[in-house]
Amino acid sequence: MADSVYISSNLNSTQLEFMKLLDEYEIDIFRFEEIERIINRKFSNLNEVLENLVHKELLSRIERGKFCKVNFRDEFVIGTFVTNKGVVAYWSALNLHGLTEQFPNTVFIQTTHKKNDKAIFGTEYKFVKISKPKRTGIIKEGYGNHSYAMTDVEKTIVDCFDLPQYSGGYAELIRAFANAKLTGERMIEYCKAVNNIAAIKRMGYLAELLDKKGMKAFVRFAKDQVKQTYNPFDPLGTNSGKFNAEWRLRMNISKKEILDITSKQY
Q: Domain containing 36 — which CATH number?
A: 1.10.10
- Whether residues 148 and 258 fall in one domain: yes
Which among 76, 74, 32 is positioned nearest to 54, based on CA atoms?
A: 32
Helix, strand or coil for residue 127?
Answer: strand
Give the count of domains, the chain. 2
- Whether residues 101 and 43 fall in one domain: no
- CA dist 4 and 228 (Å) reads 71
Domain boundary among 24, 41, 69: 69
The H or E element spanning position 209 is helix 197-209
- Whether residues 103 and 226 fall in one domain: yes
pTM: 0.91
Residues of the domain holding 216: 76-263
Amino acid at 8: S
- Whether residues 110 and 213 fall in one domain: yes
Domain boundary among 54, 69, 84: 69
- Report the percentage of the chain scoring pLDDT > 70: 95
- The whole-number pLDDT of residue 102 equals 83
The pLDDT tens digits of the residues spanning 91-144 come to 999 999 999 988 889 999 999 999 999 999 999 999 999 999 999 999 999 998
Is residue 1 over pLDDT 50?
A: no
- Whether residues 15 and 119 fall in one domain: no
- Whether residues 208 and 247 fall in one domain: yes
In sequence order, the β-bridge partners of residue 251 are: 242
- The whole-number pLDDT of residue 8 equals 52
Is residue 35 over pLDDT 70?
A: yes
- Whether residues 42 and 80 fall in one domain: no
- Whether residues 233 and 109 fall in one domain: yes
- CA dist 144 and 62 (Å) reads 19
Is residue 7 over pLDDT 60?
A: no
The pLDDT tens digits of the residues spanning 144-198 come to 889 999 999 999 999 999 999 999 999 999 999 999 999 999 999 999 999 999 9
- 226: how many CB neighbours lie within 10 A of its CB? 17
- Whether residues 14 and 56 fall in one domain: yes
- Whether residues 65 and 80 fall in one domain: no
Domain boundary among 43, 69, 95: 69
- Whether residues 129 and 218 fall in one domain: yes
- Whether residues 233 and 130 fall in one domain: yes
The pLDDT tens digits of the residues spanning 188-203 come to 999 999 999 999 999 9
Amino acid at 165: Q
